[in-house]
């Protein structure tokens, strides 16, 4: 077996592994980048809904405080 054939065989074995590692790294990077923004956006929305419910009289001020503390 010549060295060029050996090189081709080695590359064909290693190349799929390198592609798999690159895909996994891209997915991990995307999830870590997305997670903090999603959590921050959800929190104010819940508090805004709670404030609206208090303003409409759906909940009492005591219930509002209890629910607000649960959100934090």
User: Given this model, what pLDDT does residue 41 score?
Assistant: 56
**Spatial CA neighbour of 50 closest among 71, 32, 30:** 71
User: Given this model, what pLDDT does residue 35 score?
Assistant: 61
User: Given this model, what pLDDT does residue 40 score?
Assistant: 56
Residue 56 domain boundaries: 3-71
Q: Can you tell me whether residue 35 is helix, strand or coil? A: helix
How many structural domains does the chain have?
1
User: Given this model, what pLDDT does residue 9 score?
Assistant: 86
**What gap in Å lies between CA 7 and CA 22, rounded to an integer?**
22
For the record, the structure tokens of 16 come out as: 């799929």
pLDDT, tens digit (0-9, with 9 covering 90-100), for 14-66: 988 999 999 999 999 888 887 655 555 556 688 899 999 999 999 999 999 99
């Amino acid at each position: 077996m010549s060295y060029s054939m050996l090189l081709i065989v080695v590359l064909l074995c290693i190349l799929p592994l390198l592609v798999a590692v690159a895909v996994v790294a891209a997915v991990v990077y995307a999830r870590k980048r997305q997670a903090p923004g999603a959590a921050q956006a959800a929190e104010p929305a819940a508090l805004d809904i709670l404030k609206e419910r208090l303003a409409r009289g759906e909940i009492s001020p005591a219930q509002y405080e209890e629910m607000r503390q649960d959100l934090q």
